[in-house]
Amino acid sequence: MDGVLADKDTSAIEAHLGTFLEEVARIVSGGIKPGSGVDLQLERDGVVQLYAIQASGNTKNSGGRQTDIAALKRAARPLRASKRYVELNITVLGGRAKTRPMPSEPDITVLGSDDFWAGITGISDFRARLLELSVTLAPLVKTRSGDEEARLKREARTLFGDSDGGLKLDVVANPPKKPRKPRSKKAKLSAEAPGSGTT
């Protein structure tokens, strides 16, 4: 049980850190996240720049990379149809040294981490500064992560553990349903309002 929880905890931390860095990229660049599956869209000097973002070089398999490529092309299509000049980029937020076109998709550039951060901020050592800040924040994230892991373990042992430290296999096979959250008073009034479809 501890191993499974540790794996899930590690995955959650990676997701949180990746989301945090994506948000930083959007804030410092002044860009947006369009509703097309692309992570970041900027416009600089009449050029629309589209970015698919991954946290590090090993966080996406070939299927995930193909999804990013498809999202970039899909987002570019209507822009190019309206005579806009569009650049397509895949960027790795940390750990990639070089920028180069994709061999299989020369229309798409895979950006080095430093090149990406410097390009969207105009600050050549921005990634180094961000890394320094992240190291400062790491103990806080570790503490929060430890508290969350302890809470999950307590809940898991309460739900699935027996008095001898083993698993209640019948409960594992048929886990209890989560209790439904009571609707707020505002939601109830909205559902009961004329024209809401309720009787």
Give strand pairing partners of 110.
90, 100
| DSSP sequence for 88-123 | EEEEEEES----EE-SS-TTEEEE-HHHHHHHHHS-
| Average pLDDT value for residue range 121-140 | 78
Q: Please give the residue that has the higher pLDDT: either 127 or 175.
A: 127
pLDDT, tens digit (0-9, with 9 covering 90-100), for 27-43: 999 999 987 789 999 99
Buried b (16+ CB within 10 A) or exposed e, 35-63: ebebbbbbeeeeebbbbbbbbbeeebeee
Contacts of 9 (CB under 8 A, 6+ apart): 145, 148, 149, 152
CA 141 to chain centre: 17
Residue 10, pLDDT > 50, answer: no
**Smallest Cα–Cα separation from 78: which of 41, 116, 32, 25?**
41
Backbone φ, ψ for residue 48 (5° rounding): -90, 125
Contacts of 195 (CB under 8 A, 6+ apart): none
| Average pLDDT value for residue range 140-152 | 66
The pTM of this model reads 0.62
| Average pLDDT value for residue range 59-65 | 72
CA 114 to chain centre: 20
| Average pLDDT value for residue range 114-122 | 93
